[in-house]
Amino acid sequence: MKGFPTRQPPAAQAATTEQIVPLSALNTGEHGVVVELLGGRGVLGRMTSLGFTPGAEVTVLQNYGHGPLIARVRDVRVALGRGEASKIQVRR
């Protein structure tokens, strides 16, 4: 139709923008790379001591959408609360 903007196919959109989401948004089995940690000094200290540092690869082992999220980071299984998982920003 004339006069309407053209849309890129979804594959082309995904290729041009990288998706940065909270860790809690990843589904079971999805992988991500830590980009940024949000929060205060206490949260940052806990996350870094658990291995969640920028550049670390993370695999979600269990995410039911409520309750704790279980992830593998640096070959260690870690259980995180929803609030903690939402403060870890990852690139899909």
Indicate the helix (H) or strand (E) that contains 20. strand 20-22
- Going along the chain from its start, the domains and CATH numbers come out as 17-91 (2.30.30.90)
- In this predicted structure, what is the pLDDT of residue 69? 97
What is the chain's pLDDT, residue by residue, as a tens digit (92 residues)? 455 454 555 555 555 457 999 999 999 999 999 999 999 999 899 999 999 999 999 999 999 988 999 999 999 999 999 999 999 999 99
Find how far residue 44's CA is from the centre of its chain.
16
Pair of tokens at residue 14: 């995904």
